[in-house]
Amino acid sequence: QLKSLPVIIECFDNSNFQGSSPVASMVRFVDAKPDKAGYRHFNIKTVEGPNDFASMKEIVTRRYKRLIEENKQLPDLIVIDGGKGQLSSAIEAMNEVGIYGRIPVIGIAKRLEEIYTPGDNLPLLINKKSAGLRLLQQIRDEAHRFAITFHRLKRSKKNTSSTLEEIEGVGKATAEKLLKHFKSLKKLSEADLKTIEEIVPHHVAQKVKEVLSKEERK
């Protein structure tokens, strides 16, 4: 039912782990191929706890509000990873930024690979051998992979920071300063005392070195 060929397709997906560290991703395909320079990660800013619908509304709003403000090219088709609920949230966002009706939007539900379109109660079932469905699945899977990768990275950083904050004398600001400099807990634990002292006071550096050395020996 598309009026023109969707040369540029953008797809959104949410990711959270038991409600923690909610993030989202958007991937962009041009001429049916990934345009990785156009991929975007989102930290969810306005939603407390696990709420896929509200998160979807937030990221779609942020994406297209920004494109409009910067006068950048909009996609020919928007794909939402999810069924009617997620699609409705995306439509709300598109209405708010004034692009609903100008750009086609669909939802793709995982279980039966059903395609949901605005205003239709019944989903569209595309032939499983269809190249069109395979492309939509590829785009959806890529959005999911990109969201999961970002989520794991965020959880890893959060856990690393928490580990450091458990050390006596190390607060949130100090933990962030150490991680910013050494990039990882592993590199920090491998650093000598003198190097750590360049970042934090002697007594804190000593405690960090002592605790991390014990952890390594476990």
Share of the chain above pLDDT 90, in %: 51
Token match 């023109």: residue? 4
Task: Look at residue 104 in the predicted model and tell me its pLDDT.
Answer: 97
State the Cα–Cα distance between residues 213 and 215, nearest whole angstrom: 5
Task: Look at residue 26 in the predicted model and tell me its pLDDT.
Answer: 94
Task: Look at residue 59 in the predicted model and tell me its pLDDT.
Answer: 95
Task: Look at residue 162 in the predicted model and tell me its pLDDT.
Answer: 59
Residue ranges in the chain whose pLDDT is less than 50: 18, 217-218
Task: Look at residue 218 in the predicted model and tell me its pLDDT.
Answer: 45
State the Cα–Cα distance between residues 169 and 164, nearest whole angstrom: 10
Task: Look at residue 159 in the predicted model and tell me its pLDDT.
Answer: 53
Q: How far is CA 102 from the centre of its chain?
A: 25
- Identify whether the C-beta of residue 94 lies closer than 8 Å to the C-beta of residue 100: yes
Token match 């269809």: residue? 130
Handedness of CA 119, 137, 125, 77 (dihedral sign): positive
Task: Look at residue 180 in the predicted model and tell me its pLDDT.
Answer: 84
Task: Look at residue 215 in the predicted model and tell me its pLDDT.
Answer: 55
Task: Look at residue 51 in the predicted model and tell me its pLDDT.
Answer: 82
